[in-house]
Structure 1
Amino acid sequence: MTSPTPPSEPTYADRTFRSPAGLIGGVLLLVLVGWIGVDAVIQGEGSVPWLALAALLTVVPLVVAFTLRPVVSANEQRIRIRNPFRTITLPWTDVEDVRAGYSSEIFTHDGGKYQLWAIPVSLRQRKKVARHQSRQAADDPYGRTSASADVRDTKARAAIADQTMHDLRQLAEHAGDKPATEGAVASVRWAYEVIAPAVVGAVLLVVLLIVG
C-alpha cells in the first residue's frame, strides 16, 4: 500500500516593487522626446531628419531603461531584480543582506552586491520621518504608547524605500528557515534589447555628425 503524497506548499504570486515617480517621469520624457523627434523628422531639412531618427534610436531605449524598465519581483523562493541593463535572479538562500543607505542594495554570500534601481532612496523623506519620530519621542519621553495613537499614521509616514526593504528582508529571513528550493540558481542576463539599439543609434549619430 502506497503512502499518500504529502500536500505541496502553496505557491504565491510574486510581489512587485517599482518606483511610481520613475514610471510617471519616464512616460512624460517619452512624450517630450517623441514630440520633438517626430517634429524634427517631419519638419526638418537636409540631414536633420536622419539626425533626429538616430537621436531617437539612442535616447528612447535609455529613457525606457532608466525609468520604465526597473522592477523588483520577489516571492518566497527567489528575488528578481530588473535594472536598466541587467536582470539578476537570486534564490533567497544566496542572499546575505538587504540594505537601504544612499541606495537600495542586496548582498550575496559570495561577496556580490547589486543595486535595486526600482527602489530609490529619498533622503529628504527619510529626514522627514526622522523628525516626525523625534517629535513623538519628545511628546512621550518615557516611550509609552498612547491608547489613542493611530498606527496607520506612523506607517504612512515611513520612508517608502525603508518599508519596501523591510518587506524584502522579511522574505529573505522567512526563506532562510526553509530548505533550498531545487532548481533555484542565481543568474545574470544582460538586456541586449536595450543596449543594442542605443549603441547603434549612438554610432549612427556620431557618423552623421562627422559626415555633416
Structure 2
Amino acid sequence: MSDTPARANTAPTYHDKVYRSGPGLVGGCFLLVLLLWLTIDAMVNGSGSAPALAASVLVLGAPLIAAFSLWPQVRAGQDRLLVRNPFRTIKLRWDGVESLVSTLSVELRAGGRKFVIWALPVSLRQRKRASKRAMIDAGDRGTVSNTPRPGLFGAPRSLPQSAAEAMADRAVTELNERVAQYREELPADAGEPELSVTWNWWLIAPMLAGAVATIAALVAG
C-alpha cells in the first residue's frame, strides 16, 4: 500500500444554471392563494351545487396555474438542455440545438421541430429599456459629447454587455454560448444527439378531470 496521498480531483465542473420567470412565479403563487381562498370558502359555506362546483374548479385551476407559472423552467446542464413547458418537457444534448432565438418569443429548434420556451417570456418593455441604456452608455443620444457619463467617485460609467440586454435576450445569448462551447469540446465519435419530448400527464390529467367535473357540475346545477 502506497503512502502517497491520493491526488484531489481538480477537473473543472459545470454547475447547472436554471432560468425561470420571476414575475411568473410571483403571479402564480398569488393566483393559487386566491383560488384556494375562494374555492375553499365556497365548499365550506356554499349551498346547493356550489361546493361541488368549487371543488371541480379547484381541481381544474390549481394544476392549470401551476403549469403556466410555477412549472416552466430551463435548466442548462453540463451535457444537456432541459426545457420544462406547461404541457411538454424537452431534453436534448447541446449539439442537438439547431437554433435558439429570441424574437417575439424564445424559440428552440431541434430535431426539425420548433418549441416555444415558456420559462423565458419576452418583454418588449424590457427590450426598450435595455436599448435605451445601451444608447446612453454608447453616447449615441445625439448629445454634444460622446464621453461616458461619470459614475461613482468620478469614474466613467460603463455597463457590461449583459446588463444592456433584456432578461430573455441575455438568457438566449448565454445558452447559445454554451451550445458553441459544447460543440467545440465534442469528440468526433459522440454519435447523433437524441431529442426527448414527453407529455406532462401528471399536470394534464387533473386538468382534464377538473374540466369534465366542472362541466358536469354546471349542467347538473
Q: What is the TM-score when the length of structure 2 is the normalising length?
A: 0.83
CA deviation after TM superposition for structure 1 residue 208, in Å: 1.4
Report whether the alignment pairs 1:75 with 2:84. no
Partner secondary structure for residue 106 of structure 1: strand
Residue segments in structure 2 that go unaligned for 5+ positions in a row: 1-8
Residues 78, 184 of structure 1: 8 Å contact kept: no
In structure 2, relative to structure 1, the CA distance for the partners of 1:183 and 1:193 (3 Å cut) is farther
> In the aligned structure 2, how far is the partner of 1:118 from the partner of 1:165?
12
Partner secondary structure for residue 119 of structure 1: coil
> In the aligned structure 2, how far is the partner of 1:160 from the partner of 1:150?
21
CA deviation after TM superposition for structure 1 residue 179, in Å: 2.0
Residues 71, 83 of structure 1: 8 Å contact kept: yes
Report whether the alignment pairs 1:205 with 2:206. no
Deviates more, 1:161-170 or 1:150-159: 150-159
> In the aligned structure 1, how far is the partner of 2:92 from the partner of 2:28?
27
Q: Deviations over 1:34-93 (max 9, x none)?
A: 100100000000111000000000011000000000000012311000000111001111
Aligned CA-pair RMSD: 2.6
> In the aligned structure 2, how far is the partner of 1:112 from the partner of 1:8?
39
Given candidates 179, 195, 201, the residue that maps to 2:204 is 195
In structure 2, relative to structure 1, the CA distance for the partners of 1:138 and 1:152 (3 Å cut) is closer
Q: 1:103 is aligned with what amino acid? A: S
Q: 2:218 is aligned with what amino acid? A: L
CA deviation after TM superposition for structure 1 residue 137, in Å: 1.8
Matches within 5 A, 1:24-173: 24-108=26-110, 110-135=111-136, 136-138=139-141, 148-152=155-159, 155-173=162-180
What percent identity do the matched residue pairs reach?
36
Residue segments in structure 1 that go unaligned for 5+ positions in a row: 1-6
How many positions carry a matched residue from both structures? 205
Partner secondary structure for residue 185 of structure 2: coil
In structure 2, relative to structure 1, the CA distance for the partners of 1:140 and 1:172 (3 Å cut) is farther
Partner secondary structure for residue 138 of structure 1: coil
Residues 76, 174 of structure 1: 8 Å contact kept: no
CA deviation after TM superposition for structure 1 residue 185, in Å: 2.8
In structure 2, relative to structure 1, the CA distance for the partners of 1:45 and 1:23 (3 Å cut) is same
- The residue aligned with 2:4 is none
Q: What is the TM-score when the length of structure 1 is the normalising length?
A: 0.86
Residues 21, 120 of structure 2: 8 Å contact kept: yes
Residues 18, 74 of structure 2: 8 Å contact kept: yes
> In the aligned structure 2, how far is the partner of 1:143 from the partner of 1:96?
40
